[in-house]
Every structure is written in C-alpha cells, then in structure tokens.
Structure 1
Amino acid sequence: MPLYVRDVAAPGAKLRVLVVGAIHGDELSSAALAFQWIHLASTENLQQPQPVHWRFLPVLNPDGALARPPRRVNASGVDLNRNFPTPNWESDASSYWEKRTRKDPRRWPGPKPLSEPESRFLHEQMQSFKPNLIVSIHAPYGVLDFDGPSVPPSRLGRLYLDQVGIFPGSLGNYGGVHKGVPVVTIELPNAMRTPLDAEMRQMWIDLQRWMGERMARDGAAVGR
C-alpha cells in the first residue's frame, strides 16, 4: 500500500524535521495529530521563529491502520518499531522478544532488521532527508519521551517528560542513541480518541519553542 509523504518547507529553511505517525497501526490518534500538524505547518510555517523544512509521514503503517480492527503490526505481523538496525539486533531483539515479552505477537521484531518495506522506507528517508530532529507520535501512555543529544523538552502541551528507556530495534534507539539525531516521542493519552484542536496546537507551539531554544543553541548539525 502506498505511503503518504508531505513536505512543507519555509524559504531558506536549514532545519529539517521528520514527523512520523501511526508506526503502530492501532494508534490512530497519532495519525490524526500528524495530519493536524500538516495543516498547521502549511498555514503557519512563515510565522515560525525559525524557518523549518517539515517532512510528514503521517501513517507509516497503513495496513495496520486500515485493518478491522486496527492492528499494531503490519501486514506481515511485524512490530515496525522493533525493526530498525540497532547494534546487535540479531541477538538483542530476539532475546528481548522471547524473554521480556514472552513472544508477544504484537511485538515481534521480524526476521531481520529492516525486513519490512515500511521500516526500509523510513530508513531511506532518514538517509536522504537527513533530519536534524525526528518526532515520532504514539499512544496511549500520555507521556513525552526523548532519545539522543540535546536537552529534551520538559513538556509538550499536557504531556510531561518521562523517559521510559530504549528497546532493541526501536526508532528512538536507532535514531537517537546510535545515529545521534534527537528523537522526540509523543505518547498521546488515547490511541483512538484525537486530542482537542487546542491541545494539538499547544503541543505544536511548545515543540516550536523548544526547537528555537535548544536546537539552535546546540547547533543540531543544522545545514549539514
């Protein structure tokens, strides 16, 4: 199934931000937030404190999202957020799945790293777009997570920072820890209920504020 990509770039933008929604197909609110942010970026990009080139992948797992009922995994039964090539994936991912999740089929990491077309596509986007920041939207834990360099945002809207650790093959582990690209992980409170428009806008405003304060200050490899 085709993957939808939308670019919104302000003139002269050197800061590149990749926003990913619905990497788990049963977290439909994450896709809704990504689509709402496309609207905000399209209508307010020129008003932002710094020019940004946004790239949105609002539904990375369309097969899971369109299943009835929606499924966390893709059409091959793989948890895409355990399929990225972190070091020692072959031993760590399978061991974690077998021992920590007791072979939970909703968390199967797949037969090998990047075995799935969706994870390969996102990996290719990371290589070609070279984002300075990745925002990965999930649900339903109602917290804010962060991996990688820079000081994390303390809150986005009503979500407060609560770093939950890293997992073998996860995007935060791969991008933030091993590639050095800051990964902000948003965990919305409800997987099926979209936040209010005002809440989605406040998270957008808080993200912009943090980007202006921290990423410019830290350099964030802007313009590399």
Structure 2
Amino acid sequence: MAPALCEAANMRDMQGRSVKGRTLWGTDIQPADANFRVLVVGGIHGDEMSSSSLVFHWIGLAQTPPSDMSLNIHWRFVPSLNPDGLFAKPSRRTNANGVDLNRNFPTPNWARDAKDYWETRTKRDPRRWPGNKPLSEPESRFLLEQMDSFKPNLIVSVHAPYGVLDFDGPSVPPSKLGRLYLDQVGIFPGSLGNYGGIHKRVPVVTIELPSASRMPQDAETRQMWMDLLRWTSERLGPSVTAATHSH
C-alpha cells in the first residue's frame, strides 16, 4: 500500500482510542443526497494486514461512484480498528489486552456462551480470548458507538486469510464477491456478525481475504467492490426505497 493512497483517504480522528492510546482513524464519503449508510471496518485482528489495505483501496474507489447506482451511499470507513495489534512486533490478532475484539461484542447470553466456547471449542486459544466481559475493550466500545450513532444499513467487516465470504442477518446474502464465494461459517459468541446481523438485524457481510499479508490484485479488488455495490443496490436498495416512500 503506497503512502499516497493513505494520504488521499483524508483520514480524521474519530475520537476513539486504543488500549495504548493510539488514534482510531476513519473517513466519510457522503454524497449530498445519500439515502443509505454503509460502515466498512478493517483490521479488527491486527495480524490481518491485507484487511486494512483493502479498506484504503476501497476508499479510493468510493470517491468515484458508478453513475447507474440506485443508491446514494454514505460510506464510513475505519481501516484499522486494532492499531495496537497491527503495530505490535510481530503484529498480533488480539488487542494490547490480549482480547480478540471479534469475540467481545455483547451478543445475547455472552456470559454463558463466550467463555464456554473459548474453553471447549478453541481449547483456551489465547488468540481467541473473548475478554472478561462484553465491551471490556475501548476498541469494541468505539465500534458499538459508531453503530449506534451512524446507524448503518449495512456493515462490511474485512478479515483474512480464509478466502471466503460470510453473512449474518436479514436479506439474501451475496453469493460471491470477486472470487470469494459464500460459505457461512457459523455463529460465534461475541462476534460482530452475530451482534450486528443476528441481534441488531443489520446485515453484516464478512469478507475473508485469501492472504493476511498479500493484497488481491487491483482488478480483483475492484471486482469485489463492484459486486458489493451491485448486491447492495439490488438486494438492500428496494427495502430502503420502500421505507422512504412509506414515510
């Protein structure tokens, strides 16, 4: 990822801080007549560098939307939710407190399920420690505040390296984005997909890039973006239009 790409993204301080006090940066791309809100989050796991890079590339693409879109989308991009994990040497999945942020969201029955899942299914894998309680971490609290204030109609969460597409929540999921095909991997206690998609009823598209350290080719990055736009317009657009007309 070139420094110019980062500079062109016009990042602003989103008034969130990591455990170690690092700024949580984000940017908004908002047409005047926006009628749909999408929150795109990368780097929930600090060792999935490609996920943050993809978000920066998509910020560039979002600046020139296709003219034939039925939706005017207000995008909010947060490329790196876990900068402490990203800048650790070596980079690490968890935040500075050793918590897997993608298991720290307040899903129903978290107290019962999250610890049990961690102990029995992950065999106490330290990379997947959910924390002592939901929202124990400033980074997960920040994302929850973003969801509450921005009120996205869609959340896109970018990960690596499983090379699949996952989906939680209402609506028909996208069958593929670029070369990534839908493979719904299950419901995890405390995950963003579970919290946003199942509990809050906001569709959550989870992208798992094929490599944590290597970006897809530019053409592939663009194809995934165009597929996301097409699906959003076809599947989520009509419900927004109907809601607008009913008011």
TM-score range, shorter chain: over 0.9
Read off the aligned partner of 1:206 and give its amino acid letter.
Answer: D
Read off the aligned partner of 2:150 and give its amino acid letter.
Answer: F
When residues 38 and 105 of structure 1 are mapped into structure 2, their CA distance, relative to the original with a 3 A threshold, is same
2:39 matched to which residue of 1? 18
Q: 1:220 offset after TM fit, Å?
A: 8.6
How far apart, in 2, do the equivalents of 1:167 and 1:221 lie?
32
How far apart, in 2, do the equivalents of 1:135 and 1:214 lie?
15
1:89-168 matches, within 5 Å, as 89-168=110-189
1:152-191 matches, within 5 Å, as 152-191=173-212
CA contact (8 A) 1:132 1:222 kept: no
Structure 2 counterpart SS, 1:177: helix
How far apart, in 1, do the equivalents of 2:68 and 2:229 lie?
7
Q: 1:91 offset after TM fit, Å?
A: 1.1
> Which sections of structure 2, spanning at least 5 residues, go unmatched?
1-21
1:6 matched to which residue of 2? 27
1:45 matched to which residue of 2? 65
How far apart, in 2, do the equivalents of 1:192 and 1:91 lie?
35
- 1:113-146 Cα distance to aligned partner (Å, 9 max, x none): 0000000000000000000000000000000000
CA RMSD of aligned residues (A): 1.5
Read off the aligned partner of 1:34 and give its amino acid letter.
Answer: V
TM-score by length of 2: 0.87
1:81 matched to which residue of 2? 102
Structure 1 counterpart SS, 2:167: strand
CA contact (8 A) 2:94 2:100 kept: yes
**Runs of at least 4 residues of structure 1 off by over 6 A?**
220-224
Q: 1:45 offset after TM fit, Å?
A: 2.8
When residues 147 and 129 of structure 1 are mapped into structure 2, their CA distance, relative to the original with a 3 A threshold, is same
> Which sections of structure 1, spanning at least 5 residues, go unmatched?
none
CA contact (8 A) 2:158 2:207 kept: yes
Read off the aligned partner of 1:160 and give its amino acid letter.
Answer: Y
TM-score by length of 1: 0.96
Q: 1:167 offset after TM fit, Å?
A: 0.2
CA contact (8 A) 1:135 1:184 kept: yes
How far apart, in 2, do the equivalents of 1:87 and 1:8 lie?
33
When residues 99 and 195 of structure 1 are mapped into structure 2, their CA distance, relative to the original with a 3 A threshold, is same
When residues 115 and 221 of structure 1 are mapped into structure 2, their CA distance, relative to the original with a 3 A threshold, is farther
When residues 148 and 6 of structure 1 are mapped into structure 2, their CA distance, relative to the original with a 3 A threshold, is same
How far apart, in 1, do the equivalents of 2:73 and 2:31 lie?
6
Counterpart of 2:239 (choices 206, 218, 222) is 218
How far apart, in 2, do the equivalents of 1:222 and 1:158 lie?
33
How far apart, in 2, do the equivalents of 1:140 and 1:30 lie?
9
CA contact (8 A) 2:36 2:240 kept: no
1:65 matched to which residue of 2? 86
CA contact (8 A) 1:78 1:109 kept: yes
Alignment identity in percent? 69
How far apart, in 2, do the equivalents of 1:182 and 1:216 lie?
13
How far apart, in 1, do the equivalents of 2:133 and 2:200 lie?
19
